[in-house]
């Protein structure tokens, strides 16, 4: 028989994402509603190994829904990648009589949760918290909408100076393995070109595209570059193309970790609240070793293995639309 869940631990792990606090708040308040004891683990798997757990109550998560970052802090743990480290983490959970865990994070977080759960038979439910939006089993991940809005706001400011000085700007956004942020930022900011890991846009293709813009007497151009695209980062790409456009003053802007910070958008707050609520509901219903997500406005629980290993395809309509609108 399945063990009755009375004590749940929640933690955030890996890269931080705006909306993580909203998810923690939803988990704590939903667990409290069901008369469950809820504990927060500080600093992710590192804190689990060190036994850094603290009891959380409704009052502890007041006034955090609008805050970026994570009140529980986060970290990446090499020790947890070892069997010995996971055994220490298990002993910490046992010391606090933890029956189940809710992990808020991305691929690395869920990989660790899947291995740990199989070794020590503790149910886990994952909440997708990553700005990259690269997890299969949910239309959007917590933090993605805020990251895109931050990037678009920055590009809008860059557009002003590009227009004033007849400039060609290469703007680099986050996305080492996925181009979702770059694609949405490019469409939202009216970029002339978008370079992402999922497409094979060459430097020659980019040059041809920019030449078309130049023939239209376009006074400036913006190119959005995902950091992990095949041609290199924005600095490298700018060096490759600037000599072909002497009439442009070529510049580079790297938005970087600005995308991880700031107050989460309303969309991210609502998404985080939904997923936090349904994570607790899922544990109550006997779900385990799954990620909770929303697909076509419906709650969906996807096994960790599938959420991690399955490819989340780019929106083909968005790709076509971005190409047409850049003409």
With beta carbons less than 8 A apart as the criterion, state whether 302 and 315 touch.
no
Can you say whether the dihedral through the CA atoms of 62, 63, 66, 69 is positive or negative?
A: negative
Task: Give me the catalytic one of 99, 132, 134, 268.
Answer: 132
With beta carbons less than 8 A apart as the criterion, state whether 5 and 31 touch.
no
Please provide the distance, in angstroms rounded to a whole number, between the alpha carbons at the two ends of the chain. 62
Q: Report the C-alpha gap between 275 and 140 in whole angstroms.
A: 11
With beta carbons less than 8 A apart as the criterion, state whether 291 and 113 touch.
no
Greatest Cα pair distance, the chain, in angstroms, is 73
Q: Phi and psi (nearest 5°) for 7?
A: -130, 125
In this structure, the dihedral spanned by the alpha carbons of residues 93, 97, 98 and 99, taken in order and rounded to 10 degrees, is 130
Q: Which residues contact 242 (CB under 8 A, 6 or more apart)?
A: 168, 248, 250
Q: Beta strand pairing status for 7-12 and 37-41?
A: parallel
Q: Is 132 a catalytic residue?
A: yes
Q: Which residues are catalytic?
A: 132
């Amino acid at each position: 028989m399945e063990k009755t869940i009375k004590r749940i631990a929640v933690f955030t792990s890996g890269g931080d994402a705006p909306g993580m606090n909203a998810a923690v708040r939803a988990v704590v308040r939903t667990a409290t509603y069901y008369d469950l004891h809820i504990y927060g683990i500080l600093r992710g798997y590192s804190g689990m190994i060190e036994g850094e757990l603290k009891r959380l109550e409704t009052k502890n998560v007041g006034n955090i829904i609008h805050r970026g970052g994570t009140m529980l802090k986060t970290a990446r743990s090499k020790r947890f990648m070892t069997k010995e480290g996971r055994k220490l983490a298990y002993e910490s959970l046992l010391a606090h009589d933890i029956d189940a865990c809710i992990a808020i994070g991305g691929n690395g977080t869920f990989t660790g949760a899947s291995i740990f759960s199989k070794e020590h038979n503790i149910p886990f439910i994952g909440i997708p918290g990553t700005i990259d939006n690269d997890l299969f089993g949910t239309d959007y991940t917590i933090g993605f909408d805020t990251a895109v809005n931050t990037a678009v706001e920055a590009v809008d400011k860059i557009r002003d100076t590009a227009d004033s000085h007849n400039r060609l700007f290469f703007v680099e956004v986050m996305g080492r393995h996925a181009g979702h942020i770059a694609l949405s930022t490019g469409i939202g900011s009216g970029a002339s070109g978008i370079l992402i890991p999922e497409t094979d846009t060459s430097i020659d293709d980019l040059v041809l595209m920019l030449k078309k813009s130049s023939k239209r007497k376009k006074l400036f151009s913006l190119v959005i570059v995902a950091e992990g695209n095949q041609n290199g980062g924005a600095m490298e790409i700018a060096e490759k193309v600037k000599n072909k456009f002497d009439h442009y003053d070529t510049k580079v802007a790297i938005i970087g970790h600005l995308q991880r910070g700031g107050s989460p958008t309303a969309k991210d707050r609502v998404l985080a609240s939904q997923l936090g609520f349904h994570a607790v509901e899922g544990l109550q219903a006997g779900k385990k070793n799954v990620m909770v997500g929303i697909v076509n406005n419906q709650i969906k629980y996807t096994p960790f293995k599938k959420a991690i290993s399955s490819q989340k395809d780019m929106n083909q309509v968005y790709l076509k639309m971005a190409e047409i609108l850049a003409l």
